[in-house]
Structure 1
Amino acid sequence: MSHFTSFEQLQHWLDKRGLFHMDLGLERTDKALDRLGLRNPNFAVAHMVGTNGKGSTTTFLASLCAEHGAKAGVYTSPHFITIRERIRIGRDMLPPTFWVEQANLVMDTTEDLGLTYFEFLTVLAVQMFATTGVDAAIMEAGLGGTYDAVCSMRRDLLCLTPIGLDHQAVLGNTITEIATDKAGAMRKDMPVFSAPQVDEAAAVISQRAATCGARLHTDLPPLPAHSSPSLAGPHQQTNARLALAAWNELSRRLHIAPDTTKEIRALGTAFIPGRLQHISGLHISNNPVDLLIDGAHNPHALYALQKALPAMNFHPDAIVFACLKDKDMQTMGPLVRSLTHGPIIVPYMDAHERTADPEVTARHIGGQVQTAPGLARALEKAAQSGGKVLVCGSLYLLSEFYRLWPDQLDTTPQE
């Protein structure tokens, strides 16, 4: 049966599902994957769970797979311009016609289940990866861990990236509560690799592993000598080491011998947009601008950004910042203000119903702060303050940037 005749129709149907509609539980995804025969797929599965660093760790691991000749399916969120960014083979998006064909197959089997937006995309990703014959799938959690839809399938390993405060309305108000939800993704005998965690999260992870019988590894391997991860910032060293730990496990399952030369090349060429992405050579209103783009949208990520800027010798003359209204701006405001001695411009984001009121955000930041009706005007104001501009905050703000400069969405890292 042809439920969708075009990619645009599929996208419209997904939009009506509600991007942020949640109905916690695994029953629907369990049934969907059972009907498709994909609960126990014929490829290896690595599950990425945590607050920050999931996308970067996924990117490093996908690059390690590619360099060693393994075909890796990559499932991430959110997207910047098109949902096709969420389901890829390596760095390559799949054709719109293939999306329609595979979505129709999923709908034929699961239409009565009422899958949410994220559940449908997760099931669709697994279906696409099975059809394209991947060797491994790297699946990034959408939110939390216990009820993440990826938990409905057999997983061969779990990576826990650094856990911090975010999405408190859903996951809990403390690190302990949030870590408890994320650690709920562990299963008996599952290899679990954890990045260094704050004490509260570490205690929860250790207890959960002991209770469920997971095999927890907290000593990450060192990076190969002379390696230099392509993603900027001290925190990316940790993400690269976590990916390397996952690769050591994944390579055994794929019967691939790790190669140090290939590992160095993989870590040195990985790319993901919006993570301390340095863009030079742009002109905004005839002003040459040196841009740094980063999706730091919670306190943990802003602390990492605070450490990364001096290490990169990037001292912003101005900042463009915006976030969603569920963020902890009482904590984040002073952090944003500490990143520059120059002006901070808060634009209105028209792409999202959860956008914070720029005036409210500006009051939390204080100092030389002003608002703008949109990103384009905010960038014009920032460019008048000097050559170095930092754009940071919500990934939806970054989405608006990439709509203005789509060529920056898929590019190689700049020196």
Structure 2
Amino acid sequence: MNAQLTPPSAAAGLDAWLSYLEALHPKEIELGLERIKTVAQRLAVDPGAAKVITVAGTNGKGSTVRYLETVLRNGGYQTGVYISPHLVNYEERVRINGLELEAQQHVNAFQAVERARGDTSLTYFEFGTLAAFWLMMQAPLDVWILEVGLGGRLDAVNCLAADVGIVTSVGIDHVDFLGPDRTSIAREKAGIFRADKIAIIGEADFPPAILSELKQAGIAPLSVGEDFNYRLALDAGSWDYFGHRNVLRDLPLPHVPLPNAATAICALEQLELPVSEQAIRQGLAQAREKGRLQFQPGKPDVLIDVAHNPHAATFLATHIKQRFSDRRVYLVIGMLKDKDIQGTLAALADVVDDWYLADLSGARAASAQQLASALPASVKETDAQQFSSVKAAYQAACSAASDDQQQALVLVCGSFYTVSQIPLAE
């Protein structure tokens, strides 16, 4: 920690506090629970009677959180949600009963954490996590829904033992922190599970070695395909859920990924809070998540998704084949250089007709030239253009798609940083 760093005043505003948080700790990411547990104890973090649901996974965390929130709220419960990262504004990270909070409320929370931490140095994410907990303690909530930032076992939110732990999926990402293969990554994500609590796995191909380790630790997770399942209707206009306690038929197709809806329903079945079928149906229909399969109709139509690894890109490509198989697809993409760029582009190749490759800014950013060099051999050089910004690439793609005689779709993906630069409908 910089000993000369002085915390902002209450009147300094949210941006000043966020700058302070960024400079407070020598590393942007430093996994471990010792620091946050120390400060959480000083801050007297305690969910009280509220149930805690923690959601980990390579992909699908945000939509699972949203399903849980909308269904529980339709069931009449008071909810607090903590997610990361945000797309545009920091205030997106905390929702109380579905609503974001005012900037000053976040400042008040940061001040409380600052008073409690003493000489303990916290990362940006640790500080923000404790602030989110403090904000949730200010409201009479029934459920805290927490999204893991990175991994699970050593992630800051895991300082609280979840009543229900969920792992949505396991893919190759963040290998520098989580390990080089799916088994290593699954082990880190399954670290949110506790022997005396409910564990749910929404990944059909979960590494067997980790399942064995969980069994030895006295953890018996409920797994998709075995303990619960889902099935699209023949006309793909609705879907059915098959669980331990309920069979729900002709459910409305959600606006965010369907597999995560089944995982969320399984979690709600196990939670000791009754939720009616009507609340489930209403919650599924209402669930929306910015930047996740977000369709914006217009001239041209635009589909926005934060897919930034091969696992998510494969799901996105499947979605396009199912919903937009008759469209010419203009892809706007910018990525970070520490991601699997080649694998991500390869997963999209079958559904993309025209590639608009964009530079991102920052130390981790990949250039459009780096993206071009990673394109599959099947992509013709004339089908790919390079741009110095996401904005320029998006404008060019929209212009070309609007002029296209075919029904076209502009697809934007590759990174939260990419999606954050696109106008998003509320």
> Given the two structures, how large is their TM-score scaled by the length of structure 2?
0.86
Q: Which amino acid aligns with 1:66?
A: R
Superposition pairs for residues 209-358 of structure 1, below 5 Å?
A: 209-218=214-223, 219-220=227-228, 222=230, 223=241, 224-232=248-256, 236-250=257-271, 252=272, 256-281=273-298, 288-314=299-325, 315-340=327-352, 342-350=353-361, 352-358=362-368
Superposition pairs for residues 93-172 of structure 1, below 5 Å?
A: 93-172=100-179
Aligned counterpart, 2:237: none
Instruction: Show CA shifts across 1:292-342 (max 9, x none).
Output: 1111110111111111112112534311111110111232232232222x2
Aligned counterpart, 1:31: 38
Gap change, CA 1:394 and 1:196, over 3 Å in 2: same
Aligned counterpart, 1:9: 16
Report deviation, 1:19: 11
- Contact 2:25–2:122 (8 Å) recurs in 1: no
Question: What SS does the corresponding residue of 1:268 show, helix, strand or coil?
Answer: helix
User: 1 CA distance for matches of 2:81 and 2:392?
Assistant: 35
- In structure 1, which of residues 339, 363, 370 is the aligned counterpart of residue 373 of structure 2? 363
User: 1 CA distance for matches of 2:139 and 2:47?
Assistant: 16
Question: What SS does the corresponding residue of 1:184 show, helix, strand or coil?
Answer: helix
Gap change, CA 1:142 and 1:344, over 3 Å in 2: same
Question: What SS does the corresponding residue of 1:226 show, helix, strand or coil?
Answer: strand
User: 2 CA distance for matches of 1:112 and 1:41?
Assistant: 27
User: 1 CA distance for matches of 2:344 and 2:27?
Assistant: 23
Superposition pairs for residues 171-186 of structure 1, below 5 Å?
A: 171-186=178-193
Report deviation, 1:41: 3.8
More moved, 216-225 vs 390-399: 216-225
- What is the Cα-based RMSD across aligned positions, in Å? 1.9
Gap change, CA 1:124 and 1:208, over 3 Å in 2: farther
1:47 aligns with 2:26: no
Report deviation, 1:2: 7.5
User: 2 CA distance for matches of 1:19 and 1:155?
Assistant: 29
Gap runs ≥5 in structure 2: 1-6, 231-240, 242-247
1:207 aligns with 2:207: no
Aligned counterpart, 1:285: none
Question: What SS does the corresponding residue of 1:274 show, helix, strand or coil?
Answer: coil
Report deviation, 1:230: 2.3
Report deviation, 1:110: 0.9
User: 2 CA distance for matches of 1:4 and 1:353?
Assistant: 31
1:392 aligns with 2:413: yes
More moved, 101-110 vs 7-16: 7-16
Aligned counterpart, 2:390: 375
More moved, 308-317 vs 75-84: 308-317
Instruction: Show CA shifts across 1:129-179 (max 9, x none).
Output: 011222111100000011011111131110010111111121111111111
Percent sequence identity is 29
Q: Which amino acid aligns with 2:215?
A: A
Kindly indicate which of the two structures has a greater share of residues assigned to helix: 1
Instruction: Show CA shifts across 1:237-293 (max 9, x none).
Output: 21001111111222x1xxx43211111111111010111111012xxxxxx211011
Report deviation, 1:96: 1.3
User: 1 CA distance for matches of 2:116 and 2:15?
Assistant: 21
- Contact 1:319–1:345 (8 Å) recurs in 2: yes
- Contact 2:183–2:210 (8 Å) recurs in 1: no
- Contact 1:63–1:90 (8 Å) recurs in 2: no
Question: What SS does the corresponding residue of 1:377 show, helix, strand or coil?
Answer: helix
- Contact 1:17–1:117 (8 Å) recurs in 2: yes
Q: Which amino acid aligns with 1:202?
A: P
Superposition pairs for residues 49-68 of structure 1, below 5 Å?
A: 49-68=56-75
Q: Which amino acid aligns with 1:220?
A: F
Gap change, CA 1:316 and 1:137, over 3 Å in 2: farther
Question: What SS does the corresponding residue of 2:221 show, helix, strand or coil?
Answer: strand
User: 2 CA distance for matches of 1:388 and 1:108?
Assistant: 51
Aligned counterpart, 1:188: 195
- Contact 1:7–1:100 (8 Å) recurs in 2: yes
User: 1 CA distance for matches of 2:145 and 2:139?
Assistant: 14
> Given the two structures, how large is their TM-score scaled by the length of structure 1?
0.89
Q: Which amino acid aligns with 1:265?
A: Q
User: 1 CA distance for matches of 2:210 and 2:61?
Assistant: 17
- Contact 1:33–1:153 (8 Å) recurs in 2: no
Report deviation, 1:18: 7.0
Question: What SS does the corresponding residue of 2:252 show, helix, strand or coil?
Answer: coil
Question: What SS does the corresponding residue of 1:132 show, helix, strand or coil?
Answer: coil
Aligned length: 388
Aligned counterpart, 1:284: none
User: 1 CA distance for matches of 2:64 and 2:35?
Assistant: 28
- Contact 1:157–1:190 (8 Å) recurs in 2: yes
Q: Which amino acid aligns with 1:177?
A: S
User: 2 CA distance for matches of 1:324 and 1:58?
Assistant: 25
User: 2 CA distance for matches of 1:332 and 1:69?
Assistant: 40
Report deviation, 1:3: 4.5
Instruction: Show CA shifts across 1:342-369 (max 9, x none).
Output: 220111123x321112101111114321
- Contact 1:183–1:208 (8 Å) recurs in 2: no
- Contact 2:59–2:169 (8 Å) recurs in 1: yes
Gap runs ≥5 in structure 1: 282-287
